[in-house]
Chain A
Amino acid sequence: QSVLTQPPSASGTPGQRVTISCSGSSSNIGGNAVTWYQQLPGTAPKLLIYSNNQRPSGVPDRFSGSKSGTSASLAISGLQSEDEADYYCAAWDDSPNVWVFGGGTKLTVL
């Protein structure tokens, strides 16, 4: 059972916009920034979004993040086949000073 709650799956067709939610509590998302990772099949996770809505260099602006209260969302616009991957949200948890992850959302591009 993961500390952060994500839907296990999401899907969309090429060109569509999809969103993935992440729910936590006051000790993690409520008080700290949210990070999103993308994990392509058989590879290590890749940093997608940090500080709620910041993209590292090289990440397309089709990916965007937002946070409100104890929940966060990842939005992917102009969906492409190469976006098919697992997406994980993460946040620092002040109690007890650890990183916590969501269970991951498997995105399928139909």
Chain B
Amino acid sequence: QVQLVQSGAEVKKPGASVKVSCKASGYTFTSYGISWVRQAPGQGLEWMGWISTYNGNTNYARKLQGRVTMTTDTSTSTAYMELRSLRSDDTAVYYCARGRGSGSYSPYDYWGQGTLVTVSS
């Protein structure tokens, strides 16, 4: 069965970086893109960006460009999201999600369990 398993919760200080992992199993990793979506406490969903697991192409949300990097390791079927220069408003649950297809416009049929990132001094 398809599973996306994310790394554990993180606590970071303002200005630091965080790298969240998302290990996929149960399907051919390179056939479906991976996106990252975050949710601040009590708030709605915010799209962060997408990475092609086939060729590494990326598409980032404009407000995060310059601070976010998405990568994959096809040898371990793992996707990564690194966010730098953390601020308090980056405190959120971060989700990875698999697109139904390979393109960045594909809706998400499987989601990771979420990783809470807390930014606090």
Contact = CB atoms under 8 A, between A and B. Distances in A.
A binds B: yes
Contact of B45 (A45, A92, A97): A45
A24 interface: no
Contacts of B108: 35, 37, 45, 47
Contacts, number: 52
A56 interface: yes
The secondary structure that dominates the A interface is strand
Interface string B84-121: 00000000000101001000110111011110000000
Instruction: Assign chain B's interface to a size class.
Output: 20 to 34
Contact of A90 (B59, B95, B107, B109): B107
A88 B61 contact: no
A45 B95 contact: yes
A101 B45 contact: yes
Interface of A: 2, 32-33, 35, 37, 44-47, 50-51, 56, 88, 90, 92, 96-104
